[in-house]
Amino acid sequence: MITESLDIEKILEEDYNFIERKQWSYTSAFHYLYRKSDEEKNKHLIDHIKKTFHLNDIEYRSALSESNQLRSAFLTQLKEKEERIADIEIDISEILEEKNKEEKNYN
């Protein structure tokens, strides 16, 4: 997740504090949702997250969507890596079989 800085020259301190609190709340909720992705449909958990991190419905859905996207990307990358490892293991097995055949033919 990337938090972009705002390009604002003059901002009131109370506005700055509000924005900072919202960024912290959103980021914390995002990380919490990422860890609890298997429980995202739990109504009590949804209410707990909204209350704990002071999020409205739109902010909650945004954090949930972003955490789901990141988790999905992670799982896709993990699956691709596992497939690549399996392919490499097959290649290694084939090379070892070939080597063993050559050694038998040599002897």
Q: Give the pLDDT confidence of 14-73 residue by residue, as tens digits.
A: 788 888 899 999 999 999 999 888 777 888 989 999 999 999 999 999 999 999 999 999
**What pLDDT score was predicted for residue 13?**
76
What pTM does this model have?
0.68
* Angstrom distance (rounded) from CA 86 to CA 99: 20
CB 67 within 8 A of CB 37: yes
Q: Cβ distance 91 to 22 under 8 Å?
A: no
Helix-strand-coil split of the chain, %, nearest 5: 80, 0, 20
Which secondary structure element, helix H or strand E, spans residue 107, and what is its range? none
